[in-house]
Amino acid sequence: MRQDPDAETRDELAGVITRAGGGDAAAIADLDDRFGTRLAFGTAGLRGELGAGTNRMNRVLVTQAAAGFAAFLTERAAGTRATVVIGYDGRRNSRRFAQDSAEIFAGAGLRAILLPRLLPTPVLAFAVRHLSADAGVMVTASHNPPNDNGYKVYLGGADNGSQIVAPVDEEIAGHIQRVAEAGPITDLARSTDYETAGEDVVNAYIAATAAVAPAPEAARGTRWVYTAMHGVGWETFARILDAAGYPRPRTVDAQLQPDATFRTVSFPNPEEPGAMDLSFARARGTGAEFIIANDPDADRLAVAVPDAAADGGWRRLTGNEVGLLLGWRAARAAQGTPGASLACSLVSSPGLGAIAEAYGLDFHETLTGFKWISRAPGMVFGFEEALGYLVNPETVRDKDGLSAAVALLGLAAEAKERETTIAGLLDELGAQIGHFASGQVSLRVDDLSVISNTMASLRAQAPTAFGERTVAAAEDLAAGVAGAPAGDVLRYRLTDGSRVIVRPSGTEPKLKVYIDARADSAEQAAVAVTELEDAVRTLLAERSA
């Protein structure tokens, strides 16, 4: 509390201490939760709830993280002056955390460059490469709940602006721990001698992204709806649309500008039930042909299309459906290119492999996360089912919801030119490679031991069937499986060609199960997924009890 420069968190902590000193059991438990552990730095950087304590996101923790990262970069630079770029979004304290980081980096002798204002995460990922920086930091919690924030780290040079992977995360975490143990953050050198990037960086990103799919003549008159989900995507996206020549959308005005309270949604993630309800209402009122949504830091993309069978007349496409469409687009463009590949995480649709095979491209399955996907050899397109897409790997080595949106607009214009729709393109793709459907079942827990115990139960006694569907092969990727990346993942291949994958979430207290089916028709594939979801829920209820 004495070293905390933030009056709000100091007062917050003082109140908890006072109540705990008076014997308040809830306050004592709160204190233990705040200080019983330290918010871990991993390959996703830092992410957690805002508040006072070592297990929360606050200025003390961020300052220690910045100083530890600075020490890592200094050590890695081996006598040269490292450059680091810092970006931030519209969440609570994002700008403050970014400024603290810039001052700490500058105080440590690094060249620190702060982006000029709150901007999407892909702009920071772009800036790392564009400025030939050694590293980048983005202050964001992406689509997490409103009271969260985070600290995402990228490396330049040989890492090409990708997010960090092991063992770098452990090395950085070790430096952070040493900083925390050395003394209060008030002892750390700070400097305001950092640079603020000019608009030329943002302009370069806009030009590169508009070039992904310049608008054809068929794009004129397109009616569509866009929401920024209370995030930072709109200002940059609007300029990209103008540069690429696409018509401006009808917007969900209540969600268009950055709002750290995310007042119209309980969870600012386009995947969550209800998050796109305002978009659906806007689309119904304007006769829209499709909807595009970004998450709050604009690194993810959601798409919805009219569907008379869906509640409200609109259906959000799954991340796999969008990924297969964008992968199909990339495969057609890359056909005949030696060494070109498509890549996705191992829990994403196997349909991408079918597309790669159809167009003579290489295919790579990776562990979950773009830190792995972005490193796939020869990749021209990569995606993960959680609404993440990488369509321009020569520009941004991370998921990018804005460039993916431009690519989607290009596909929509192509469909219009051929007198079909986005849904029609999905049918066309299914007729070519087979119809793939996917589903997901999650077990959210309060006690993390439930997840480890359930995984242990499944390893000790592998299921032989999911409902009426027999398991042909049970694979434990932690034990090493030929052709698959090692990880805490269980994969079941069924005799009918379906696939079930079980893994703990890396960011939430969840056990996640991914289901994929392939059939001769979209209807048959959808039925298979529904039946498998029911069987998985039954299995999880038994094994987690």
Task: Answer whether residue 271 shows pLDDT above 70.
Answer: yes
Range scoring the smallest mean pLDDT among 12-26, 39-53, 243-257 = 39-53
Same domain, 221 and 111: no
Same domain, 376 and 485: no
Q: For residue 158, is it within any domain?
A: yes
- pLDDT in the model for residue 199: 97
Same domain, 474 and 424: no
Same domain, 538 and 397: no
Mean pLDDT of 145-155: 96
Task: Answer whether residue 483 shows pLDDT above 80.
Answer: no
Task: Answer whether residue 116 shows pLDDT above 70.
Answer: yes
Higher pLDDT among residues 508 and 522, named by residue? 522
Same domain, 54 and 73: yes
Asked which of 418, 433, 448 is the last residue of a domain, the reply is 433
345 is catalytic: no
Q: Write out the two tokens for 101.
A: 């980081």
Range scoring the smallest mean pLDDT among 222-231, 344-353, 445-454, 483-492 = 483-492
Please tell me whether residue 327 adopts helix, strand or coil conformation.
helix
Same domain, 154 and 90: yes
pLDDT band at 482 (very low <50, low <70, confident <90, very high): low
pLDDT band at 127 (very low <50, low <70, confident <90, very high): very high
Asked which of 407, 433, 459 is the last residue of a domain, the reply is 433
- pLDDT in the model for residue 311: 85
Catalytic option among 94, 101, 132, 142: 142
pLDDT band at 385 (very low <50, low <70, confident <90, very high): very high
**% residues pLDDT > 70 (the chain):** 99
pLDDT band at 505 (very low <50, low <70, confident <90, very high): confident
Same domain, 408 and 511: no
- pLDDT in the model for residue 362: 98
- pLDDT in the model for residue 441: 94
Q: For residue 15, is it within any domain?
A: no
User: Beta partners for 316?
Assistant: 304
By residue range, what is the domain housing residue 190? 38-197
Task: Answer whether residue 13 shows pLDDT above 80.
Answer: yes
- pLDDT tens digits for range 87-113: 999 999 999 999 999 999 999 999 999
Q: For residue 264, is it within any domain?
A: yes
What is the residue-averaged pLDDT of the chain?
95
Mean pLDDT of 262-277: 93
Same domain, 423 and 444: no
**Predicted TM-score of the model (pTM):** 0.94
Question: Residues 335, 336, 340, 346: what is their CA dihedral angle, to the nearest 10 degrees?
Answer: 50
Q: For residue 207, is it within any domain?
A: no
Residue where the block lists tokens 């500058």: 106
- pLDDT in the model for residue 494: 95
Q: Where are the alpha helices (DSSP H) in 342-440?
A: 351-358, 370-373, 401-417, 422-433
pLDDT band at 391 (very low <50, low <70, confident <90, very high): very high
Same domain, 57 and 140: yes
Give the 3-state DSSP-derived string for 280-325, with helices as H, strands as E and coil as C. HHHHHHHCCCEEEEECCCCCCEEEEEECCCCHHHEEECCHHHHHHH
pLDDT band at 269 (very low <50, low <70, confident <90, very high): very high
Evaluate whether 76 touches 37 at the Cβ level (below 8 Å).
no
pLDDT band at 484 (very low <50, low <70, confident <90, very high): confident
The amino acid at residue 132 is S
CATH of the domain at 227: 3.40.120.10
Asked which of 373, 406, 433 is the last residue of a domain, the reply is 433
Q: Which residues contact 304 (CB under 8 A, 6 or more apart)?
A: 276, 279, 280, 283, 290, 291, 293, 314, 315, 316, 317
- pLDDT tens digits for range 456-468: 999 999 999 999 9
Count Cβ atoms within 10 A of the Cβ of residue 162 and give its class: 0-12 exposed, 13-18 middle, 19 or more buried.
buried
- pLDDT in the model for residue 509: 87
The whole-angstrom separation of Cα 70 and Cα 175 is 9
Same domain, 247 and 386: yes
CATH of the domain at 504: 3.30.310.50
Q: For residue 32, is it within any domain?
A: no
Same domain, 331 and 240: yes
**% residues pLDDT > 90 (the chain):** 93
Range scoring the smallest mean pLDDT among 235-239, 350-354, 508-512 = 508-512
Q: For residue 18, is it within any domain?
A: no
Same domain, 146 and 230: no
Q: How many domains does the chain have?
A: 3
Please tell me whether residue 202 adopts helix, strand or coil conformation.
helix
